Amino acid sequence: MIAEALGIDFSSFRLRDEIIEVSADQIKEAVKSFIPEMLRVDEVVLVHFSPRIDGDLFKEKTAVELVYKSDVSKPILMGLVDQEAILFGMCFKLRFC
């Protein structure tokens, strides 16, 4: 959807090369064209999509390796979607946490 909003042919073999040339501001504006305002809860980090660790674009580690085989000495809090923060906001109101 981002490629389409930016006018980049999604089926192109050059998709990765073309999208790398796009600025962060252009991506942010493109995302706003298809994500409703009510779903934009991650204004602090200014992105409305999350990168995916797919083994293709991010070759270093998979999500499983990041969670279970991390070599970092500090604890990691990792989420897979930007909507997870909503649950923390609901805990106080609904008292289910």
Query: Is the pLDDT confidence value at 8 over 70?
Result: yes
Structure confidence at residue 1 (pLDDT): 73
Structure confidence at residue 16 (pLDDT): 78
71 shares a domain with 27: no
30 shares a domain with 71: no
57 shares a domain with 21: no
**Structural domain count of the chain:** 2
The answer to whether 6 touches 22, Cβ cutoff 8 Å, is yes
Query: Is the pLDDT confidence value at 15 over 60?
Result: yes
pLDDT digits (tens, 9 = 90+) for 18-77: 878 888 888 888 877 877 654 555 444 445 555 555 555 555 566 566 556 655 666 655
Where is mean pLDDT largest: 7-16, 71-80, 84-93? 7-16
62 shares a domain with 97: yes
In 27-54, which positions are buried (b, 16+ CB within 10 angstroms) versus exposed (e)? beebbeeeeeeeeeeeeeeeebeeeebe
CA dihedral sign, ordered 18, 36, 76, 25: positive
23 shares a domain with 67: no
What's the chain's Rg over C-alpha atoms?
17
54 shares a domain with 93: yes
Composition of the chain by helix, strand, coil, percent to 5: 45, 0, 55
**Residue ranges making up the domain that contains 38:** 1-49
Per DSSP, 7 falls in state T
61 shares a domain with 91: yes
